[in-house]
Amino acid sequence: MSLSIAASTQNLAPEAVFAVLERVRQRKPKVHAITNSVAQGFTANVLLALGAVPSMTIAPEEVAGFASSADALLINLGTLDDTRRSAIPLAIEAAKTASRPVLIDPVFVDRSPPRCAFAKDLMKTGPSLVRANEVEMAALFAERSDVDALISAGTVFVVTGAEDKIEGLGEDYRLRNGHPLMARVTATGCAGGAVLAAFASVEPDTAFAAACGLSVFNIAGEIAASRSAGPGSLVPELLDALFGLTARDIESRLQTG
């Protein structure tokens, strides 16, 4: 997916990023996460460190109630078993009926045709956010026009990589924060999706919310990496960095493309 650089990136001021983080800390939004089994515990702890409140049930008989009473919904396809297949459409319908932001993370759709087909059906629901890497985007969308149609309808795309790209209708961000050590801990990206959902719940400009959330998470990752000896110590350091992140941290580290 090739995007032209727009003015949005230049307008991403550190103080504005911190202001949205403070809004998350003050409002303590509830994020319901239907995520993969590997990521559940870490995702919950990341949300708590951020200041949000996680819930994780995947039971079809109760997921609609959790999704509709949360402030945002995260759908992560990392472990797509029968229970999650049943629960996900119910949760999305409930969240959309309640006008809550829905983020879909189509993990590994490039590796599984059935998963890719399921994710393509989910795209028809018009999610607020889609977070994917370039390979997953290529598997999901054969034509750029398919992406454009969703953007025109209000979906924001977050495409992660060495340079993260965020595109919404009339908005475009390029971000360069993060650290390679983050990729050596399982579920880091999955937890990052939950952070984006939390930010989208307190900021109506979804693309701006995603840019702020991604910046906060990746800056915390940089700080954690500077304090850790390797992947084992990165996890607690990341939680501490998210919990204690300051305006000065963001001002000194924010990198845009």
Q: Is the pLDDT of residue 251 over 50?
A: yes
Amino acid 203 reads: E
Q: Residue ranges per domain, the chain? A: 9-249
For 9-249, CATH gives: 3.40.1190.20
Pair of tokens at residue 22:
């403070």
Q: Is the pLDDT of residue 126 over 70?
A: yes
Residue with tokens 């989910």: 122
Tens digit of pLDDT for each residue in 7-17?
577 779 999 99
Please check whether residue 2 is in contact with residue 244, taking contact to mean a CB–CB distance below 8 angstroms.
no
Give pLDDT, residue 2.
40
SS3 category, 66: helix
Segment 225-233 shows an average pLDDT of 97
Instruction: Kindly state the percentage of the chain with pLDDT values over 90.
Output: 94
Give pLDDT, residue 9.
76
What is the chain's alpha carbon radius of gyration, rounded to the nearest angstrom? 17
Q: Is the pLDDT of residue 6 over 60?
A: no
Give pLDDT, residue 4.
43
Please check whether residue 108 is in contact with residue 36, taking contact to mean a CB–CB distance below 8 angstroms.
no
